[in-house]
Amino acid sequence: MAEINLKFLTWAGILCCLIWSGFAQQAGSDCIKANAKSCGECIQAGPKCGWCKKTDFLQEGEPTSARCDDLEALRNKGCPMEDIENPRGSKQVLEDREVTNRKIGAAEKLKPEAITQIQPQKLVLKLRVGEPQTFSLKFKRAEDYPIDLYYLMDLSYSMKDDLENVKSLGTALMQEMQKITSDFRIGFGSFVEKTVMPYISTTPAKLRNPCTGDQNCTSPFSYKNVLSLTSEGNRFNELVGKQHISGNLDSPEGGFDAIMQVAVCGDQIGWRNVTRLLVFSTDAGFHFAGDGKLGGIVLPNDGKCHLENNVYTMSHYYDYPSIAHLVQKLSENNIQTIFAVTEEFQAVYKELKNLIPKSAVGTLSSNSSNVIQLIIDAYNSLSSEVILENSKLPKGVAISYKSYCKNGVNDTQEDGRKCSNISIGDEVRFEINVTAYECPKKGQNETIKIKPLGFTEEVEINLQFICECQCQSEGEPNSPACHEGNGTFECGACRCNEGRIGRLCECSTDEVNSEDMDAYCRRENSTEICSNNGECICGQCVCKKRENTNEVYSGKYCECDNFNCDRSNGLICGGNGICKCRVCECFPNFTGSACDCSLDTTPCMASNGQICNGRGTCECGTCNCTDPKFQGPTCEMCQTCLGVCAEHKDCVQCRAFNKGEKKETCSQECMHFNMTRVESRDKLPQPGQPDPLSHCKEKDVDDCWFYFTYSVNSNGEANVHVVETPECPSGPDIIPIVAGVVAGIVLIGLALLLIWKLLMIIHDRREFAKFEKEKMNAKWDTQENPIYKSPINNFKNPNYGRKAGL
């Protein structure tokens, strides 16, 4: 069992090494494939790439790009760690205010900007290409957080009864919201439709009063800001009470125009940097981008504020906004929308809700009597969910989220941006990864922002890209080391000026294809340029790179390599030497063309201290037995010699069955072999295996036979396999014998009786048949029998016939 475990661990280790070397080779391949001419290009090839700035690092024929490789390969090639440029990314938190712990009704009154719900607030990330930087973002929903609520109402004629209920909304809603926050403000706006045909009637009479009959309606309008945000609920009731219903011709309303103005006209509406709620109340559908063409309006909505005297004045000039445009503006201004619509249009606005983040839909009763409860329920729904969004990312930058929500709920990818079922005072955490996959062209810094949807607070992240090495700032322009100043000497190599090439910038681009230069790249009596293993640049061979970064061409003519040496056991130079210019240079104690011959005689040492037991010679660490009778790694096994089984009999007996002559000294004298128990003789090792094997059958102290095998493997380890149950002779069993004898006697007696009975029956039948035959052959009957005498006798009475009285 110990041997099996050892083999398993050995193969597992080899497999792990192969896997790791495969990964390292792939990383090195990426670095080599980048063909980096400078340290900056190298570190942009991948996070595992490093640049060796050691001046004499390159071998003859190697290009400058060979300085770029994975760190392990550079160290193996002889580059000291202090000469490897490998800058790493980092993060630095610049602003990290703790989230606010504040309860409703607290004595202190904080300004909205003094309340913190997200942490940290500002940080710097230094990004290297391919290396992610991670930071943790904490969000805590503060108690008593200020709320601004703007009520935007459809004042078309169908909303007449709703207006009556909304007139008292201000004070009632203020009272309810006081339970949530002590800092609440409310505003009111109304909308109808664009003031052009075919949305309204443009006849003078209809423009004055669009309603029919004796209804007194106000002139149609697109959007009015009736009341900017205020904390005076009575003021709300007063101004809303003065509003009148208007009218239009078509069923869809121009609510999108009104929503756009409410979102972008922050100064006129009076939005603060607090929770912003927009309640949109209607009993109809909506127009959107493109519908303006019906009225001859083709200019797309510009998304800007056009309020004059609190009235939208450009409804006849700009088309309705698109849904995507609304989403953008609502998100930019941190406005959460509550659609309070009648049952008839629930399906339409639920689809709209799915397109607008941080929005909710509530069912409005026919006369808006339930609007307060609708607002409270929608607010609780919106505030119980936090969704992170980020600003537009620079090119080549990616971001990912992982959420750590309540009750151990964790999510990644798109769901990693949000947490649900958050109550006031709950704290959740997000893990955010930012990764750069390329450097900006100009290398300038970038800024991105992350914020929870519907909240004004945000995290500002300054991205600084690591696109150059530190040693490049120490470069020497027009250095004499670069062929009379034709380049900048930096990071141990020359960065050539424009128009110059070569390792030392010794050639101009005009000289590259010159045939005279090629003559310097051919070996004597050879027509091959750089041995077909490289290209000739400036009269010097620049050797090719191989996909496996550990395999390198070198030499003045690229005639050498380190991978075409003889192999042993699948390894170059048997793993016991270094391949230099296609010839193995063996480590000490190894020789041979593949370094596969060990000069160490220790493996050949027998247990008696002799090399190969005195019966062979040690060649390359292996015994060559000269006596054909002896085998094994040290010529100690003799299958035809007597004594192998007898020699180990007592030790096997004491270890396997705890008996025998060596029972008391077993642990001292009998631990020189590995023992394995098997169930039966069939499971003992059989002839044909590589290790010499002896099959043994011996008798133990109880006159029982036990079976075992003895072998020695190539490592000199003795292995014994023994059948776990000895074969012992057993005495006679009396009861079955007696029972068998008795049963035999009884059976024999019964058989004899049956035979006798059968014979008697046969005999009687024969006698009876004989009698019947004789009876049939008789010549007389009973009346002709001469000796027959009748049994009847006649006697005459002498007195018969005489008269009486005589």
pLDDT tens track for 540-576: 788 887 877 778 888 888 888 888 899 888 888 988 8
The per-residue pLDDT for 14 is 42
Report the alpha-carbon distance of residue 705 to residue 237 in Å, rounded.
Answer: 111
The per-residue pLDDT for 13 is 47
| Burial annotation 193-211 (CB, 10 A radius, 16+ → b, else e) | bbbbeebbeeeeebeebbb
What residue has token string 């036990």? 706
Both structure tokens of 748? 């024999």
Going from the C-alpha of 626 to that of each of 546, 630, 631, 640, 643, the distances in angstroms are 48, 8, 9, 16, 21
pLDDT digits (tens, 9 = 90+) for 400-439: 999 999 888 888 877 888 888 888 888 899 999 999 999 8
What residue has token string 């014994």? 720
User: Which tops the pLDDT comparison, 287 or 100?
Assistant: 287
| Burial annotation 773-789 (CB, 10 A radius, 16+ → b, else e) | eeeeeeeeeeeeeeeee
Contact 31, 46 (CB under 8 A): yes
Average pLDDT, the chain: 83
Name the percent of the chain lying above pLDDT 90: 23
pLDDT digits (tens, 9 = 90+) for 471-512: 888 888 888 888 788 888 888 888 888 888 777 787 877 766
Contact 234, 171 (CB under 8 A): yes
What is the secondary structure of 161-177 as a DSSP string?
HHHHHHTTHHHHHHHHH
Q: What is the largest CA-CA distance in the chain?
A: 213
Confidence at 778, pLDDT banded by 50, 70, 90: low
* 395 three-class SS: coil
The per-residue pLDDT for 196 is 86
- For range 768-786, the mean pLDDT: 70
The per-residue pLDDT for 6 is 42
Cis before 692? omega within 30:
no
- For range 633-638, the mean pLDDT: 79
- Listed range (20-34, 164-178, 759-773) with the worst mean pLDDT: 20-34
Name the percent of the chain lying above pLDDT 70: 89
Tell me the range of 131-140, 200-209, 673-682 where mean pLDDT is highest. 131-140
The per-residue pLDDT for 640 is 65
Confidence at 462, pLDDT banded by 50, 70, 90: very high
